[in-house]
Amino acid sequence: MKTNETRLKAILDRNSTEATLIANVQNLDLLSESGEFWLNIVRDKTYSSMHRRIAIVQYFVRHSYYAKANELGLQSLNLLPSEYLIQVLRMETGAVPAQQDNRDGRVRIYFTFDEVGKACVYLSMFPDADDAELIQSLFGAKTESSQIITDVSVGEHLVSGADITWNRWQRGQVYKYH
């Protein structure tokens, strides 16, 4: 029987296929790894775009719920401007997967490492603030921030063409293929 330790070692293997990575992250159990485990993969450009996409998704799914926004460490990723786009959502049309209270701010971050490295992260943050403050909180520029991540939903596009929607981690991965 595989343990979390065995799965995490397999996730670190640069030769892992997308199917192997997804299978391992779907079966991770209790949080035994730090958020840095995932952030180190994202920072390391010797990992494939697919590997980095899966790592950023799992970082948010497993480690951002009820975290302080300014402690997420996003500023340490040293991403190129072409690798992410952050938007504060004020007027929503269509379905937005993360739950939102009227007192929450909503942020969407697109990560694009290349054609096989696309993910979209939705975060609800409490308390709401102006757009600049929410973004500065996420990237650590506002050290006195009080924003807490109150909900997380992430979607990623797989090499196979399938899409996965992940909701925040709760004693086992919650995901849907479509």
pLDDT tens, position by position, 41-91: 999 999 999 999 999 999 998 888 888 998 888 888 888 888 899 999 986
> Is the pLDDT at 35 greater than 70, yes or no?
yes
Going by the DSSP 8-state scheme, the letter that residue 68 receives in this structure is B
- Domain interval for residue 170: 4-177
Please report the beta strands in the chain, taking only residues with DSSP state E, as ranges in sequence order: 84-89, 105-112, 118-126, 148-157, 163-167, 174-177
Going by the DSSP 8-state scheme, the letter that residue 42 receives in this structure is H
Are 52 and 41 in contact, with CB atoms under 8 Å apart?
A: yes
Q: What is the mean pLDDT of the chain?
A: 83
Report how far residue 77's alpha carbon sits from residue 74's, in angstroms, rounded to the nearest whole number. 6
Q: At what angle do helices 35-43 and 49-63 cross, to 10 degrees?
A: 160
Number of domains in the chain: 1
> Is the pLDDT at 159 greater than 80, yes or no?
no
The pLDDT tens digits for 122-138 are 999 999 989 999 998 98
User: Taking the model in full, what pTM does it have?
Assistant: 0.85
Buried b (16+ CB within 10 A) or exposed e, 41-65: bbbeeebbbbbbbbbbbbbbbbbbb
pLDDT of residue 173: 46
> Is the pLDDT at 102 greater than 70, yes or no?
no
Are 124 and 104 in contact, with CB atoms under 8 Å apart?
A: yes
